[in-house]
Chain A
């Protein structure tokens, strides 16, 4: 069966420090991968998605970047964190691109990031 791992579970970082969040998927090949952010009272916001190694699409311009160095690894990064980067970050995967019939997203357990 497929599993998705996301770490760390919680992170407290000072403003201006770098960020690296990792996500790996097991049990499937060539998954579509996604990073979402969930801020209090603002619902889920798609940040990045990837349909293959080295292929990253950004949905919103911001202080973050994403990379996919391996088929089942997705990394969210920042060179200098802002206070507004605080939130709950969720990694997800799907078999087909979103919108593909009957292809739901499967989410990791999330990372709670607090920028102080």
Chain B
């Protein structure tokens, strides 16, 4: 069995400040992990994926995530938020031919 928990349903940041979106997972298998972003009325776009080659994963638009096996976490960060980062973000764990989506974190960016 596997599951993913996004610890914050909503995050609000000021433009130019760091963004942290928290994700914890559980899996009986060696998981693959992904972060997706969804802008209003759009599909989900892949931000980055964990391949097990490196624990720090860099993605598009300046995002990165760090895999910590001991903490079963895969938190997403960005050093400086931009207005265009306002969207919903999903953490996803994949294992045993099943995908589990987190409930999502809505990011608001204040000018």
Interface residues in chain A, defined as those with a beta carbon under 8 Å from any beta carbon in chain B = 6, 9, 43-44, 46, 88, 90, 92, 97-110, 112
Chain A interface main SS type: loop
Tier of interface size on chain B = 20 to 34
Min CB–CB distance A76 → chain B (angstroms)? 15
A46 to chain B: which residues have CB within 8 Å? 99
Question: Which of these, A43, A90, A97, contacts B43 with CB under 8 Å?
Answer: A90
> Is B49 part of the binding interface, using a Cβ–Cβ cutoff of 8 Å?
yes
CA A14 to CA B103, docked complex, whole Å: 29
Known: A44-B90, A46-B99, A99-B96. A107 touches B104 (CB 8 A): no
Min CB–CB distance A99 → chain B (angstroms)? 4
Min CB–CB distance A111 → chain B (angstroms)? 10
B43 and A107 contacting across the interface, CB-CB below 8 Å: yes
Known: A46-B99, A112-B41. A104 touches B104 (CB 8 A): no
B34 and A104 contacting across the interface, CB-CB below 8 Å: yes
Question: Which of these, B44, B51, B99, B103, contacts A99 with CB under 8 Å?
Answer: B99
CA A98 to CA B51, docked complex, whole Å: 14
A97 to chain B: which residues have CB within 8 Å? 97
Interface residues in chain B, defined as those with a beta carbon under 8 Å from any beta carbon in chain A = 32, 34, 36, 41-46, 49, 51, 90, 94-99, 101-104
A99 and B101 contacting across the interface, CB-CB below 8 Å: no
B104 to chain A: which residues have CB within 8 Å? 43
Q: Which B-chain residue is minimally distant from A4 (CB atoms)? A: B43
Other contacts beyond A99-B95, A99-B98, A110-B42: 8, CB < 8 A: A43-B101, A46-B99, A90-B43, A92-B43, A103-B32, A103-B94, A105-B44, A106-B46
A105 to chain B: which residues have CB within 8 Å? 44, 46, 99
CA A88 to CA B44, docked complex, whole Å: 12
Min CB–CB distance B109 → chain A (angstroms)? 22
